Structure 1
Amino acid sequence: MLFVRYTDGTSPMWGVKEESTIHALSDLPEGEPTLADLSNRSYRNDIGTLVGTEALTQVDADDVSLLAPVPRPGKIVCCGLNYRDHAEEQDESIPERPMLFGKAPTAVTNPGDPIIHPAPDGDEQVDYEVELGVIIGERCTDCTESDAYDHVAGYTILNDISGRTAQQTDGQFFRGKSYDTFAPMGPALVSGDDFDPNSVDVELRVDGETKQSSNTEQFIFDVGELVSYISQSMTLRPGDVISTGTPGGVGIFRDPVEVLEPGQTTEAEIAGIGTLRNTVIAE
């Protein structure tokens, strides 16, 4: 089931998207769903029945603006080097355990909103990275790999925009990953057993030209392994986001290097979720 968070110019709302129609969940007697609701199979079945009977208000998707499913995550935990093809392009060995780093929650921005190209020194290299985002729906501590999926509300797209100059200057990732607008997220949250996060096509295009194309079957550590591993070190709470890594083809490893410039548009696409579009603008 494809859930979207959207606005018609008033308050943010949740809905279920089917093609160009959004079924408004604000009509529900219990009010807007929580992330725990979205992770609950019984809740999703009840919503599916209502959508099938057209009992909910229908909204034209073209008449609203889609929003990031989680506007301010408690934390964003990212996994580096988690696709075999990405390790190969860097000539790196396959890691024995996940390589984790953080991204500031304030980096999140909406589908369609601009990515702001920072220019603190005038030479920042801004890169793209299409990633499958895992949104936690229920509190999770020391969970097993098999139980991990029960704590997931759903999956979205996160474009892990990176400031490579800051990353290389600092010798670590946090600042370069955390500029404002460097975490476009959306356009939807997919939830349910029909979506296999470990076997979906992922792609990123810049101005219509494909730069990354792979499948999450290339994961070194799948979703269950990542959620379980992270939960052994820190409690995962509803609204936390895990960004699962990016495939090969990122700009900094191309020859010649191809980084983003103001005026260019990125399209991050994951089968079953949709396409996340954002245009780069100058600061």
Structure 2
Amino acid sequence: MPHTAADSIRKHHLSLAGNPQAERVLVFAHGFGTDQRAWDAIWPHYAADFRIVRFDNVGAGRSDPQAFEQHRYLTMERYAQDLNELLDALDLRDVVFVGHSMGALAGLLAAIERPEQFARLVAIGASARYLDDVGYQGGFSEADLNALYRAVTTGRDAWADAFAPVAMGNRDRPELAAHFAETIKSVPADAVLTVLCSIFQSDYRERIGRLERPTLLLQTREDAAVPQAAAEYLHRSIRGSELVVLEAEGHLPHLSAPQQVLAAMDGFIRGHG
């Protein structure tokens, strides 16, 4: 059956907010283990001046569980295609995009394929490749990833409880990690390993240099999932991009340090930079 606009809207549990009369549109894409609620401390800041679009990636949040067909979501390309299909369904062009982690990478890939869809992009904690390589620091060895996959297969919930504090950082605020662990556990058990493989096995170093839209990269000074070297690689690869290192820690600063994220990206989002 042909794909329709209604199909795209329904499968992502779309949320529209902000100023319906605003000309500019701001689209938020979440990362692994979270859903569109991850932006609750960010999007209201822009509600007066933008139309706001949030959605759940397939396999996360309240997206249509029937939409997650494992063979379709083995790489980030499918998430990028979903994003462009959603923008088409909403008849949107020249959006301002904010994405985190896998959501950020999906946005970068979507903008490469359909540049007319995007005016500018903010990528928080993004990486073109997570696996170390000769002359490249991605943050994980093959042994690291094999151990991660085994741990997820053996016990998803126990792995989530161990992974969340590492990814979140901010050990003095354990409630952040506890919340993240619970949202990871909300990802369907049969989807977790597929999604993780699609993230950690990805390598878009050759493609990322084709991006030709203004791009702001936000990176914390201490991120267990994405080392600063990986962020610097993206910065070098994306012509004209700007890299801002936040005085914050952890892989999810939009949850742990939202005011710093807002301060770093506000001018760029509003078109001042």
Q: Same fold (TM over 0.5)?
A: no
TM-score, structure 2 length as denominator? 0.28
The structure that is helix-richer by fraction is: 2
Structure of larger gyration radius = 1
Higher normalized contact order (CA 8 Å, seq sep 6+, divided by chain length): 1
TM-score, structure 1 length as denominator? 0.27
The structure that is strand-richer by fraction is: 1
